[in-house]
Structure 1
Amino acid sequence: MAMMQAPAAGGLSKAVFLDKDGTVVENVPYNVDPSLLRFTPHAIEGLQMLADDGFRLIMITNQPGVGLGLFDLAALTRLQEALTERLAQHGLVLDGFYACTHAPGLDPSRAPCSCRKPSPGLLLQAAEERGLDLERSWMIGDILDDIEAGRRAGCRTVMLDVGNETVWRTSELRVPHHRAADLREAARWIVQASPLPWDTAAALNTDGLHGNQPRV
């Protein structure tokens, strides 16, 4: 489900796809109360750095609370509007908000959806609707499902090492190109690496792909 999207700009743009909970805002499970929104440390500085470098900011979030009946779409929309307004107070434009509202495994007779991360469906939808160049784009998240979704969509990826990944189910698709302590550090890496061709940037990143493997 995509919410409150502006028309796509002409040509292909680069973007940073952002997980919401634990990445841009503090992780409060199933939260739809705008008063509980708190930005993660250095999130605003990082987002400003990305926006200044010409990246469009697109949020990609799993919101199973809708499918589980814990809150409705109207409540999620109010939260999105509050988040968009708070970012705007810092001069930041949230260029798209894409949410999977399905509850995984709720109906075992139905096949899993294609939009819930680690599936790349929402990233692919955003790229098509908003004219985004996936090879020039990045996915930032705090768990390996975010990384897998980004890689499967054809993006480069950064994982925030903030302790929110607890399962460490690993595969080649779940190894981030880089790991960072917060959004500001992630943004610095992305701005430095983005002018380089994909293979060159990946080869330079010995931390993310080789020497700094996920903990198990």
Structure 2
Amino acid sequence: MTLSENGDLWCDIRTLHPAGNHPALFLDRDGTLIELVDYLSDPAAVVLIGSVLEDIWQANKDGHAVVIVTNQSGIGRGYYRWADFHAVQARLYDLLAAEDLVIDATYACPHPPPDAGGPAHSLYRKPAPGMLTRAADDLNLDLSRSRILGDSVSDLAAGKAAGLPVGILVSDGYGARDAEAARVLADDGFEVIRR
């Protein structure tokens, strides 16, 4: 795992795929892959959301990269440290390994939103596409054949901005709250699926 020089981005690349452009399944973490806990820093509180496990299994089976892209403003707000985030990730990886599921990489941005003291124009905080485009560069991914699963409109907006053709809004986490805003993102180049 690496933390960028200026602390803007945390990257944990766990698996490198063979050369060639591969599609990816991008996943938000909190409220999508694991139950939503505000400012999660306790590994014991990690609980998988079962409805997404099938998506990971299918992506693993098809040889698609599985990449977590997560805003972690609790770090930027001083609520917890990168070491705490890493401990939560280790627990998450263990739970997924017990299900024979593989996460190829995780990207995390610590910036709070601008109205909470974060930078006005973060390259990486969703809805900006920076975590997805960085993953595409690092892992040789084909964004035009990739998709994103998330529980908020910012997840899907990041996917759309990165050039993904599909965003899937899950009903867990903030999914019900953001359903209408996510629907508005749909156009000829970006399909929004609710489930």
Does the residue aligned with 1:23 lie in a helix, a strand or coil? coil
1:129-168 equivalence runs, <5 A: 129-155=138-164, 156-162=166-172, 164-165=174-175, 166=177
What is the TM-score of this pair, normalised by structure 2? 0.83
Does the residue aligned with 2:59 lie in a helix, a strand or coil? helix
Instruction: Point out where structure 2 has 5 or more consecutive residues left out of the alignment.
Output: 1-8
Tell me whether 1:94 sits opposite 2:103 in the alignment. Answer: yes
1:17-28 equivalence runs, <5 A: 17-28=26-37
Contact 2:128 2:161 in 1 (8 A): yes
Does the residue aligned with 1:84 lie in a helix, a strand or coil? helix
Tell me whether 1:174 sits opposite 2:182 in the alignment. Answer: no
Which stretch has the larger CA shift, 128-137 or 155-164?
155-164
Distance 2:146 2:178 in 1: 26
Distance 1:103 1:3 in 2: 18
Count of residues in correspondence between the two structures = 180
Does the residue aligned with 1:103 lie in a helix, a strand or coil? coil
Does the residue aligned with 2:83 lie in a helix, a strand or coil? helix
1:54-93 equivalence runs, <5 A: 54-93=63-102
- Offset of residue 172 of structure 1: 8.2
Distance 1:57 1:145 in 2: 19
Instruction: Point out where structure 1 has 5 or more consecutive residues left out of the alignment.
Output: 182-216
Does the residue aligned with 1:116 lie in a helix, a strand or coil? coil
Q: CA RMSD in A?
A: 2.2
2:60 matched residue in structure 1: 51
Contact 2:185 2:192 in 1 (8 A): no
Distance 2:72 2:182 in 1: 24
Does the residue aligned with 1:92 lie in a helix, a strand or coil? coil
Contact 1:143 1:159 in 2 (8 A): yes
Specify the structure having the higher radius of gyration (Cα).
1
Distance 1:107 1:134, change over 3 A: same
Which stretch has the larger CA shift, 49-58 or 59-68?
49-58
Supply the AA of the counterpart residue of 1:3.
C
- Offset of residue 76 of structure 1: 0.5
Does the residue aligned with 1:164 lie in a helix, a strand or coil? coil
Tell me whether 1:2 sits opposite 2:10 in the alignment. Answer: yes
- Offset of residue 42 of structure 1: 2.4
- Offset of residue 171 of structure 1: 8.0
What is the TM-score of this pair, normalised by structure 1? 0.75
Tell me whether 1:13 sits opposite 2:22 in the alignment. Answer: yes
